[in-house]
Chain A
């Protein structure tokens, strides 16, 4: 499938070249970079691009999975198998204090939960290891405040983002200068769209978690959102009873906060077909984005990816 892609500069080839440039630029300019690994499709694409960027050398940075302990079981299985097969250096970080306090997505609301288990956990891990640059798989087409995100996104000593203090970014010249304690979030997939990602997954035969494909899964319908009952920790409300429905996920996160869609797409081609005809954006199933208008912007200011 990947015949002759460099000779003809199609947009995918151009996006690939741009992403590789960004990956190399970061590794060249920072002392201690890390790649955030969320096990989702964007992470898989980013990792694939990183392997291309430094081939034939091994990845010059570790992967970091910020683990809320509430991911789908399929994701953990996939992660462990994938890391083992490719001999990757994976760090897993959990917010132990929050876990000890019993913070969970049911009792504490998605905002508080996300802040503790994702934002806090991430900041903890970054400072513990002294990482000065962290790659993320975020794309500008995902969400409004992401549309203004830089490729090199500067964070202060507290890991926070100030939209008014972002450095202007011209051409492909990225300013990677930071002082001790400050850091950079780097987004090599900035200019990719969801369709580009899937198309690349298909073209490059990149493995992704099976949850992206339709299968019979136990779900409940909560206010129009289909939630999968992935293990016994799921708290059912009175009257809720899991039923088997043929569903898949467009984005993956913590299972109690990820909405499924009914689908019969069992292949990458079929997923693409559905997506092109879909009229819902991919983040629609993400409950955490909908807390209030501008909620992603607030999370980012606090240090969320």
Chain B
């Protein structure tokens, strides 16, 4: 081999590799209505982050010109000219949606009909983008893309504003437990980059989105086709100080929630290469396990200790989600696929009868007399839907009675399983709280579910059963029961006490609560104003959702408001009848 031509050591390769290896994964879902320009936005992101290659770009240039020519029925002799023009076209004029519309049928119809996954590397992140269709009949695809996402981008057409399906998308994103939401107000170029238009849409959607329990909501005025505020701040929106979409993606906290949750290890497969070795292979669904930990095997409840954590690369002292490992147990306890290991003091629920939110995908409607299979973690159990508690009316997001669920319907159901599911409420654990429903005959995946809890469970029972109505309490106390969540700033406790003093001085019945959801709900249920402060994102999320479900008045204060403004907002709670 000619050594003179041998590649010299590349110092920048090592740096690049270090950079690449320290990057964390972010899973993003992008949703929008049919013509909101979603594919264009994703194409633009890929293009500007160098996620596309020259041959892909030139193929798209060719196809762009061909399609444009076909649409306008240009004679073939002019087509060659068209190709030339397109090949030399400015980036702004490229049809970016062609980068991402994968299947032939879609390219012909100009719509996206299935979830496509795209990969993007920024300086700080590796991003997996689920590109999901926004048609109402494709709810299932959105739910699919959202199921694994850490963050969502919802597109809104600046000319049309917030549509019912925009609310629907936000609702589904929240249902699937996505903590962070960005609203991209697209086609700003078509409204002259008008600030008032942007702010009106933004405010309308943000107010709504907060009630859905997102951890953070951000707004961006963008033009996907022209590239404003996607990866570069736009000179055409000098009034926008919220940065770019890419900047937001890079700044999101990496999702480590599963590491901090209770330890859950669904047994996937038993490894028994010889008589002296028996290992339980699986992926840590949440939390951390250490050698020597006392664990229980569920559903049997047999207790033992972790004798070893094995991997191909050698034994480990501890393993955290999402590692795939093999556990050896100290005793000869029976454990097989579908069983779950937890610490003894933090067991999951064992649910025969459970309430769950269900998204229906089946061509055939949900049939209460039919037996289905539920797959949850590594466990598959025969199950039946006993009753439908309500269906979500997606037009206005109200809850209506229902006999069945049809394709793309969402509802709350009561499920009865032949064998117990070892689960946590989805809100607390997206791994162990999720399940799919399989038609036992056709084997199609016909539904996706999110565990709410044991049937008939819930802390609100006592309040609901009370003989004193909330209206009576309100009449007596002169105020509605309410939960007020303070911003997540470090001095929240002292701010809460100051606020409590001011409100008390103005005649309110008020109490301060340090992050206890149950206490806050109980106080609000009794007619008091509960001022809650907590920095824990999990608690904040749970509180928003619980408050919504319980129907008490709800207010979230903003860090940018001063004390006076905050007092005013709390006092206003009773006035508009909310």
Contact = CB atoms under 8 A, between A and B. Distances in A.
Q: Is the interface of B mostly helix, strand, loop or mixed?
A: mixed
B312 interface: yes
Contact of A170 (B9, B147, B271): B147
A57 B272 contact: yes
A74 to B, nearest CB: 15
Contact of B322 (A14, A179, A270): A14
A108 interface: no
Interface residues of B, number: 85
A220 B391 CA distance: 66
Interface string B7-24: 101101110110011111
A297 B107 CA distance: 12
Given A15-B25, A175-B443, A270 B268 contact: no
Contacts of B259: 9
A147 B118 contact: yes
B522 interface: no
A55 B143 contact: no
Contact of A51 (B113, B277, B312): B312
Given A55-B312, A195-B20, A25 B324 contact: no
A173 B312 contact: no
Contacts of B337: 28
Nearest to B5: A264
Contacts, number: 207
B375 A270 contact: no
A214 B337 CA distance: 47
Contacts of A173: 375-376, 434-436
B103 interface: yes
B97 to A, nearest CB: 12
Contacts of B55: 280-281, 284
A85 interface: no
Interface in A154-190: 163-164, 166-173, 175, 177-179, 190
Interface in B158-204: none
Nearest to B313: A2
B311 A168 contact: no
Nearest to A6: B323
Interface in A246-305: 246, 264-267, 269-270, 272-273, 276, 278-281, 284, 293-294, 297
Interface residues of A, number: 78
A243 interface: no
A205 B281 CA distance: 24
B228 interface: no
Contacts of B121: 193, 195
Given A56-B277, A276-B16, A141 B53 contact: no
Interface in B43-75: 53-56, 63
A21 B273 contact: no
A69 interface: no
Interface in A205-228: 214-216
A124 interface: no
Nearest to A301: B104
Interface string A87-118: 00000000000000000000000000000000
Interface in B84-127: 100-105, 107, 113-119, 121, 126
A12 interface: yes
B431 interface: yes
Contacts of B116: 147-148
B319 interface: yes
Contacts of B117: 140, 147-148, 190-191
A246 B118 CA distance: 33
Contacts of B273: 56-58
Contact of B2 (A13, A190, A196, A216): A216
A168 B140 contact: yes
A167 B13 contact: no
14 contacts: A9-B322, A13-B323, A17-B324, A56-B271, A57-B272, A170-B148, A170-B445, A175-B375, A177-B438, A195-B121, A202-B17, A215-B1, A281-B55, A293-B63
Given A6-B311, A168-B448, A196-B126, 5 more contacts: A17-B283, A144-B103, A163-B114, A171-B434, A190-B117
Which 7 A-B pairs rank lowest in CB-CB distance, beginning with the nearest? Answer: A281-B53, A177-B443, A20-B324, A57-B273, A170-B147, A52-B312, A11-B25
